[in-house]
Every structure is written in C-alpha cells, then in structure tokens.
Amino acid sequence: MGFTLPPRMNNSAPADHVRSLMARKDALEDQLETQLEILQSHSVTMDTPLVDAEGFPRADIDIWAVRHARVRIIELRNDLKALMDKIMVALQDVYDPSTVSREQPPATSASSTSGASLEPFARVDGVAPGSPAASAGLLREDLILSFGPLDKSSFPTSSSLQPLAELVAAQENNEVVIEVLRSNDQRTRLTFIPRRGWGGRGLLGCHLVPYIA
C-alpha cells in the first residue's frame, strides 16, 4: 500500500511480521484483481446468469473460465478477510501501549489506556464531502483520542502518524472504531469503513495532522 513500518524499540520482530503479512495481502489483492478482470473481459459479474432465456448455457462467453474465476474470487475474498484480521492483531502487537510498556523501564509504563486518560494525538484538518470520514460523522477540528487499537502511546514520534496510516491500509473495507473529542469536551465514538472508490483521494477522505497540546 505504499507505507513502511518503522522498527519499534529494540525488537523488530513484530514489525517484520506485519511487513510479511502486508506482502501476502498485496499478493492476494493482485490475484483477486486478475480474476475480476476475467469477469470484466466477459462483461459479467458475480451474479450474471450463465444460461440464456431457454435455460441453455450461454454461447457468447467461456462458461468454464467464468465459473472458475467466480470460485477463485470467493476463495480469495475469504482468504483476504482472514488475513486482514491477522494484520489487525499483528499491528496491535506492534503499537499496543501494553506491549510497549513491557519493553520500557517501569518508570515510563504507568500510563493508563482507560477512556478517561486518553489524550489527543491527531486533529482533523478537513473532511471531504461524501467521503467515508463524512459518512462516519467526523467533523473538522475533532481531536482523535483513539483509532482502533491506537492511542497517543502508539506514536513514538509525535510529528508522524505513520502507525495510523498502516492501520487504515490494513483495514480497507473493514470497520474501525475511533473516539474523538469535540470543542464542547464531548467524547464521541465513530465507526469508519476505509474504502476506495468513494469519489476522492485516500481511503478515509479526511486530512489528519499531528496534535501537540
């Protein structure tokens, strides 16, 4: 997806595991695209009838090729969904504050991850109309308290939102729950579904910038 996971602390094994899973994800997506192109070349979809009005196999398409492509598409979509669940877990292992705390001296591991102690790490600088962000109810100037498993502790560099970009890429077409803080000190939980094809750039359709109090 064009993102690069930085090594975390002195142990890069979790990040290497995520890179491996992301490479497998890219390979599955390439295979899926190939099978979808087969359907497109025959001007059919997953639901297009393969028989004519009299119930005979259509003579204008390669029935075997279309059926085989449909089966592979179903298999690949299932494999991709299962793999994205694994990526989500692996990303949490990389950026989960509880994992970080086990690697840090005790003096730096006292922060709580409860909702009451969450601090903003990003600010919404803009939301595109009709985007997944707009559909989720995100507003300009919202402050991001949590994004899936990520919170402020997940960002070793306050000027970079790289972990969030990785998570969004891994969760394409899957729900991500976030918590935001609004100007009236109201905490709100929203649900995103990162996706392409909504009519604009990116998977979310919003511009996030690092927040420094």
Structure tokens, 27: 């390979």
Residue 199 falls inside a structural domain: yes
Residue 17 falls inside a structural domain: yes
Is there a single domain that holds both residue 85 and residue 126? no
Q: What does 87-132 look like in DSSP terms, one character per residue?
A: HHHHHHHHH-HHHHHHHS-GGG-----SGGG----EEEEEE-TTSH
The predicted-structure confidence for 2-38, as pLDDT tens digits, reads as follows: 444 444 444 467 777 777 888 888 888 888 889 999 9
The predicted-structure confidence for 173-186, as pLDDT tens digits, reads as follows: 888 899 999 987 88
The pLDDT value given to residue 98: 52
Domain that holds residue 194: 122-210
pTM for the model stands at 0.52
Is there a single domain that holds both residue 17 and residue 89? yes
156 vs 139, higher pLDDT: 139
Mean pLDDT of the chain: 79
Of 67, 99, 131, the last residue of a domain is: 99
> Number of folded domains in the chain?
2
Q: Which residues pair with 181 in a beta bridge?
A: 143, 187
Residue 1 falls inside a structural domain: no
